[in-house]
Homo-oligomer: A and B are copies of this chain.
Amino acid sequence: MITIKDIADEIGVSTAIVSIVLSGRSAANKRASPELATKIKAVAAEFGYTPNVSARALSKKRQNTICMLASRKTGQAESTDASATLFGVSKVLSANSFRTVLQYFETEEEFTGCIGNLRRQFMDGVVVDPGWIFNPEKYRDSIEQKGLPTLFFLQNAAENIFDIGINHDEVSTVATEHLVARGCKKIAFFDMGGAAGQLRLEGYQKAIANAGMQFDKRMICHLSGKDKYKPAIADRGIGKMIEAGIRFDGIVAASDGQAFVLLHRLQSLGIKVPEDVKIIGVDNSPICELSFVKISSVSGQPELRGEIAARKLLHRIAPEEFDGGAAGEITNIPPKVVARESTLKN
């Protein structure tokens, strides 16, 4: 293994100056003549020198490592591609010579166990993708108290919290706008309820108003009961709408799984997608590519979220070194329509 000392010996200088040059602190400290610097770099390259991360970590008291705590659900074709977030995070980190240490959890108990094991000595920060965990914010302080800058991916980014969230109202606004742009005049909206559902509904209403359309209560399909998140419930919902004689030429579904089910229901009723009715889902999950008519969807841009998260965290860890957006600021990634067959053909 080539060390800094090998290089210093080769040139006949001290290890200190080699260290300063090779770790890029040269400019800041106004040290090392340009000639020496280039010489050192040349020898380092020739020898194939790579710094020993452990030695550096021990000395600098920085591990150049962040820990990513990610929820793992089996069979998640209906939900956001979780690996995309991870991919975005690890891409930015490795570009900045940080390591991404992965820790999966499946149950909330495992999650709290992981949190208990987090240590300043192992890592410099934590990224959490809490997934289905209810009220994940409540865990943040216990991590931060260990001196670990922490960033959560949240569904609803609360104010003054250093996190990355989704603007639910924007999601349905862009979905509805997309349908309007595709020529839909009567757009149905599937409401999943809850705070997020309320925001989604407002986003839909905004887009309807902006398009100069009249809001029609009958176009809203409220799903309820404890199974309201299950796609099959949407199947019953649309059945009732059709029985009631309500007509529509576009549907903003609450999820991709729902869109998938609605698509099949319409097809079995002889209603053509996208010719008669256009459908758009939410999440841009793998399921969108699986049906005969591929489903358009609104993407939360998980990879981009991962990248931004990583940059923000790096900035918190070492503000002078990494530029990543002001800490304490909420970032909402704009949702983006991924158009596929279910809204494309006319």
Contact = CB atoms under 8 A, between A and B. Distances in A.
Interface of A: 1, 50-55, 57-58, 63, 65, 68, 72, 74-78, 81-84, 86-87, 90-91, 94, 99-104, 106, 119-122, 257, 260, 264, 285-290, 292
Contacts of A103: 90, 94, 100
A120 B287 contact: no
Q: How many copies does the complex hold?
A: 2
A1 B121 contact: yes
Contacts of A287: 77, 286-287, 290
A53 B121 contact: yes
A75 B81 contact: yes
B104 A290 contact: no
Highest count of chain B CB atoms <10 Å: which of A54, A102, A290: A54
Contacts of A77: 77, 285-287, 289-290
A101 B106 CA distance: 19
B72 A87 contact: yes
B81 A102 contact: no
A286 B120 CA distance: 37
Nearest to A67: B99
Contacts of A82: 83
Contact of A102 (B57, B72, B86, B264): B86
